[in-house]
């Protein structure tokens, strides 16, 4: 055996002796076994040695015992070895004690040398153990230091990656481009593979990006996803994260895991080709909703992800979710702002349109020598345009009230035919003007609903008016109804321009309109269908739009809860409007208080035509001066007066005992619920919103005594 091999064998034996189990039984057992081996070897050498060197093999046993068992077992084996050597190998044999002086000296030397050998061997063993422990600790410290250096380098790279990713996410741009950039940043700082998936509105998952340093492997991953889509019920991947809502960490990816995931042998081969080593998938969550997933995979680097990596990935996912949400909100805000600008432009256009015929009609009337027919025509033009402007303003106010939950419904049992009749009467001029064919198909049996007649008629007239606007002249419009046990369904169908598929989902949104040319021949503010949906939902129903596409017409279906026929017919309050101001209203003394001189004088002239006695005041103090002397039966008082507002004027009028029987009516442009409550508190009997319909004014004039505040529009 070569010297190097001897050294290696000696080193191995030494380390084995030091590292072997060292219980008390083992240490003393080694002492006994060593003595027995020493006896056996010396016995084998006895024919050669005789009584020479009787303690030779016992020295070796003593050394072995001291090295393995320690000092105490070796010192105990010393006298036992001495007795065995004397009894077995010294002449005369068979005696426990040496008789001659030479043998006694040999025994003494064995004791002395054996003690030194035991102590020296034990000391060397202790020193060797300490050296081994020191070397082991040094190696462990070196490994720890190497791990710390690697962890520090990894941490620095992770922090740098997170900082770069955060800086990228802070840019309020298209979030899809941002997440694609994040995937590229993650490789190779944090992962060998990075994938980004987005949850769509229909809960499907779309892969947005895959990144790897090798483009060929990116193509392989794309091919893998195409041929073998992830199993939604599988134990790994974003599907299980989507179901649980928690991150998934796999520190090591064994081949058994790949075999469980693989769908076919070819799939398994492709998975093995990717060389996956470790994996983690974290959800991007915002306001309790999962927006997508970030998946990181370690492959070529061989790195195994741990809890610290998971914390970093979740931090990044949280920031990415905030960026996605901010980007979406920014986009929605930008779209809403654009719709608002378009709406304001449409509003200006729609409000200016009636002004031109109004001004033209006034110009015609100012020309002089105008015949009665022309005067009638001009008056009809002005009336139509004023009604158009009033409708625009009313729609705006209705939307505002509904959006803030301020609208109140006056519900009662209504027969559906009455709603249809009222709605058709409202839109008949628009339908006739465009020469449309209107087909009405109602069931023979009466259908009853619990609703506000005015509001449901408004819903139906808005739909019919919408159909008339967007149907070419000479087209057809169908209005039909049917019912089952619990619901009544109204259908408005036309042969008009139809609705593009992308607009069907947005057609009921506020200010939403399809693209139109600059002439805007159909007009409108894009709020009519919003009103329809909100009013229908307030009644516990729903409305849906259908269309086969542009140029193929459209259909709107309104479903409302059906009720049983009432035992008595309800009063039709809406049908009791007076027909003629001059003949049906009693003569009254009326005080008009309005800072708008034109509004006050035109109203006074109209009342004087009805043979009413009228006085005018343009501010609060003037009204208080006139009211006591004039003693009016009716005061039409504007609220927005200069100096002293209408509420203050009303309070002072109510403090006068001689005006207790005077009907005090607020006639103003303020029509919110809070305005009506303030009117009631100030002492007004009624609250009318400008412009006031002739029928409403007739009703007010016909009241002999104050009847309490009511809500008029």
646: Cα separation from own chain's centroid:
47
Which residues lie closer than 8 Å to 215 by C-beta, 6 or more apart? none
Contact yes or no for 559/488 (Cβ under 8 A): yes
| 112-116, 235-239, 335-339, 471-475: segment of lowest average pLDDT | 335-339
Give the percent of the chain with pLDDT over 90.
Answer: 14
Compare 239 and 707 and report the one with higher pLDDT. Answer: 239
Each domain of the chain, given as residue ranges in start order, spans 3-142, 161-331, 408-575, 578-702
Compare 311 and 15 and report the one with higher pLDDT. Answer: 311
In tens, the pLDDT along 263-293 reads: 888 888 888 888 889 989 999 988 888 989 9
Give the percent of the chain with pLDDT over 70.
Answer: 84
Only one residue has tokens 């609060």, namely 620
Whether the predicted pLDDT of 199 surpasses 70: yes
How many Å apart are CA 225 and CA 236, to the nearest integer? 15
Whether the predicted pLDDT of 708 surpasses 50: no
For every residue of 555-595, DSSP letters joined together read EEEEEEEEEPPPSSPPP-GGGG--S-HHHHSPP-EEEEE-S
Q: What pLDDT shows up at residue 342? A: 64
Compare 357 and 11 and report the one with higher pLDDT. Answer: 357
> Average pLDDT in the 518-525 region?
43
Contact yes or no for 284/325 (Cβ under 8 A): no
| 366-380, 385-399, 505-519: segment of lowest average pLDDT | 505-519
In tens, the pLDDT along 481-492 reads: 998 888 999 999
Instruction: With CA atoms as reference, report the closest residue to 174 among 296, 334, 316, 313.
Output: 334
In tens, the pLDDT along 564-616 reads: 888 755 444 443 433 444 445 567 888 999 988 877 888 888 888 778 889 99
> Average pLDDT in the 650-662 region?
88
Q: What pLDDT shows up at residue 688? A: 86
| 124-128, 262-266, 577-581, 686-690: segment of lowest average pLDDT | 577-581
Only one residue has tokens 């269908």, namely 529
Contacts for 258-265: CB closer than 8 Å, 24+ residues apart: 260/235, 261/231, 261/234, 261/235, 261/236, 263/228, 263/231, 264/228
In tens, the pLDDT along 26-65 reads: 778 888 888 888 888 888 888 888 778 888 888 888 888 8
Q: What pLDDT shows up at residue 283? A: 92
**578-702, which class in CATH?**
alpha beta
Q: What pLDDT shows up at residue 702? A: 79
Instruction: With CA atoms as reference, report the closest residue to 563 among 487, 490, 491.
Output: 487
How many Å apart are CA 247 and CA 565, to the nearest integer? 58
| 301-315, 488-502, 600-614: segment of lowest average pLDDT | 600-614
Q: What pLDDT shows up at residue 124? A: 77
Q: What pLDDT shows up at residue 145? A: 80
Token readout for 487 is: 């619901």
What is the topology classification, in CATH, of domain 408-575?
Heat Shock Protein 90 (3.30.565)
The pLDDT mean for the chain works out to 80
| 52-61, 100-109, 534-543: segment of lowest average pLDDT | 100-109
In tens, the pLDDT along 203-242 reads: 888 888 888 888 888 888 888 888 888 777 777 778 888 8
- One fold for both 161-331 and 578-702? no
Q: What pLDDT shows up at residue 517? A: 37
Q: What pLDDT shows up at residue 616? A: 93
Q: What pLDDT shows up at residue 555? A: 94
How many Å apart are CA 673 and CA 2, to the nearest integer? 109
What are the φ/ψ torsions at residue 595 (nearest 5 degrees)?
A: -80, -15
How many Å apart are CA 470 and CA 149, to the nearest integer? 73
* Residue 630: CB atoms within 10 Å: 17
Buried-state track 578-589, b at ≥16 Cβ within 10 A, e below 16: beebeeebeebe
Q: 3-class secondary structure for 640-658?
A: CCCCCCHHHHHHHHHCCHH
How many Å apart are CA 690 and CA 692, to the nearest integer? 5
What is the topology classification, in CATH, of domain 161-331?
Beta-Lactamase (3.30.450)
> Average pLDDT in the 328-333 region?
81
Q: What pLDDT shows up at residue 511? A: 57
Q: What pLDDT shows up at residue 209? A: 86
The two counts, helices (H) then strands (E), for the chain are 22, 17
Q: What pLDDT shows up at residue 557? A: 94
Q: What pLDDT shows up at residue 333? A: 82
Confidence band of 405 (pLDDT split at 50, 70, 90): low
Q: Is the bond preceding 92 in cis, omega lying within 30 degrees of 0?
A: yes
């Amino acid at each position: 055996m070569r010297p190097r091999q001897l050294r290696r064998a000696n080193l191995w034996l030494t380390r084995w002796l030091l590292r072997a189990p060292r219980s008390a039984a083992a240490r003393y057992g080694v002492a006994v076994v060593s003595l027995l081996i020493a006896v056996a070897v010396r016995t084998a050498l006895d024919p050669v040695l005789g009584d020479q060197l009787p303690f030779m093999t016992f020295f070796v046993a003593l050394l072995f015992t001291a090295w393995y068992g320690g000092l105490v077992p070796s010192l105990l084996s010393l006298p036992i070895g001495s007795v065995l050597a004397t009894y077995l190998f010294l002449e005369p044999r068979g005696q426990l004690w040496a008789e001659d002086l030479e043998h006694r000296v040999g025994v003494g030397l064995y004791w002395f040398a054996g003690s030194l050998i035991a102590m020296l061997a034990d000391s060397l063993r202790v020193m060797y153990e300490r050296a081994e422990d020191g070397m082991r600790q040094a190696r462990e410290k070196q490994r720890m230091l190497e791990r710390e250096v690697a962890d520090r380098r990894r941490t620095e790279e992770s922090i740098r990656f997170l900082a770069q990713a955060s800086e990228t996410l802070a840019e309020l741009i298209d979030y899809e481009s941002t997440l694609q950039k994040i995937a590229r940043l993650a490789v190779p700082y944090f992962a060998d593979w990075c994938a980004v998936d987005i949850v769509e509105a229909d809960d499907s998952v779309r892969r947005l990006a895959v990144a790897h340093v090798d483009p060929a492997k990116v193509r392989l991953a794309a091919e893998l996803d195409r041929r073998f889509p992830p199993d939604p019920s599988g134990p790994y991947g974003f599907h299980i994260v989507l179901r649980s809502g928690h991150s998934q960490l796999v520190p090591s990816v064994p081949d058994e895991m790949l075999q469980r995931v693989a769908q076919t042998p070819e799939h398994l081969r492709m998975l093995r080709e990717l060389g996956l080593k470790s994996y983690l998938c974290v959800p991007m969550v915002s306001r309790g909703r999962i927006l997508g997933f970030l998946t990181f995979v370690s492959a070529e680097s061989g790195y195994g992800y741990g809890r610290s990596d998971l914390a970093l990935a979740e931090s990044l996912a949280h920031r990415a979710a905030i960026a996605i949400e901010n980007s979406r909100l920014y986009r929605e805000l930008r779209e809403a702002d654009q719709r608002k600008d378009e709406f304001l432009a449409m509003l200006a256009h729609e409000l200016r349109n009636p002004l031109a015929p109004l001004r033209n009609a006034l110009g015609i009337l100012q020309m002089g020598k105008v015949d009665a027919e022309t005067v009638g025509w001009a008056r009809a033009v002005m009336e139509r345009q004023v009604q158009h402007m009033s409708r625009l303003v009313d729609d705006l106010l209705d939307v505002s009230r509904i959006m803030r939950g301020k609208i109140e419904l006056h519900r009662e049992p209504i027969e559906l035919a009455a709603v249809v009749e009222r709605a058709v009467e409202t839109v008949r001029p628009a339908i006739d003007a465009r020469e449309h064919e209107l087909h009405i198909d109602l069931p023979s049996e009466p259908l009853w609903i619990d609703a506000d007649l005015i509001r449901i008629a408004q819903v139906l007239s808005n739909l019919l008016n919408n159909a008339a606007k967007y149907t070419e002249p000479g087209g057809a419009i169908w209005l039909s109804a049917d019912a089952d046990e619990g619901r009544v369904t109204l259908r408005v169908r036309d042969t008009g321009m139809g609705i593009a598929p992308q607009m069907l989902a947005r057609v009921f949104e506020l200010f939403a309109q399809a693209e139109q040319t600059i002439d805007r021949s159909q007009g409108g503010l894009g709020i009519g269908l919003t009103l329809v949906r909100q009013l229908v939902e307030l009644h516990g129903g729903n409305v849906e739009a259908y269309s086969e596409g542009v140029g193929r017409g459209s259909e709107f279906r309104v479903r409302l809860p059906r009720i049983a026929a009432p035992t008595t017919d309800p009063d039709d309050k809406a049908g009791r409007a007076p027909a003629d101001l001059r003949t049906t209203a009693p003569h009254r003394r009326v005080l008009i208080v309005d800072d708008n001189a034109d509004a006050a004088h035109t109203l006074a002239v109209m009342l004087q035509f009805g043979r009413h006695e009228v006085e005018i005041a343009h501010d609060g103090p003037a009204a208080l001066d006139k009211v006591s002397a004039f003693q009016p039966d009716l005061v039409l008082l504007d609220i927005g007066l200069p100096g002293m507002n209408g509420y203050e004027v009303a309070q002072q009028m109510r403090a006068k005992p001689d005006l207790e029987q005077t009907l005090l009516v607020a006639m103003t442009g303020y029509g919110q619920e809070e305005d009506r409550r303030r009117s009631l508190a100030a002492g007004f009997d009624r609250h009318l919103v400008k412009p006031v319909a002739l029928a409403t004014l007739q009703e007010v004039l016909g009241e002999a005594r104050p009847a309490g505040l009511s809500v008029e529009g």
